[in-house]
Amino acid sequence: MHIFYTFILSQNGYGFASYNLKREVYMAKNAQHWEKTKGLLIITLVLWAIFSMGIFLFGAEMNTVTGPFGYPLTYWFTCQGSLGFFVILIFWFAGRQEKIDEEFGFSEKGDN
């Protein structure tokens, strides 16, 4: 029914303008969605870079410190710390991205 009404409206001159307006709103929404998505990407990649590369710039210094469970800190990061952090980071990212998609009504329906 809804589609039918839209069709009727667009038959008069009035409807054409409303179509253009809709398209602009749609584009703006897309652009905003993409801006937020890019923001999240940058945050995620900065965290990723720190724990996959950044901390290992100071590997030798960090290893003199005792880390979790008593392991040398750098050793612990290579065995468990960084790896576990990536797991958490990806789930966190997925959750945030879902929120962004929902905010703009872009999330998919019906499945998970």
Separation CA 110–CA 112 (nearest Å): 7
Q: Toward another protein, which CB reaches closer, 17 or 41? A: 41
52 touching another protein, by CB under 8 A = yes
Count, residues near another protein per rule CB under 8 A: 47
Measured from the CB atom, is 16 or 91 closer to another protein?
91
Among 5, 32, 84, 99, contact with another protein (rule: CB under 8 A)? 84
The region, left, alpha or beta by phi > 0 then psi within -120 to 50, assigned to residue 69 is left
Rounded CA separation 107/7 (Å): 26
Verify binding: residue 70, another protein, rule CB under 8 A.
Answer: yes
User: What is the phi/psi pair of residue 68, to 5°?
Assistant: -55, 145
Cβ 37 to another protein, closest distance in Å? 7
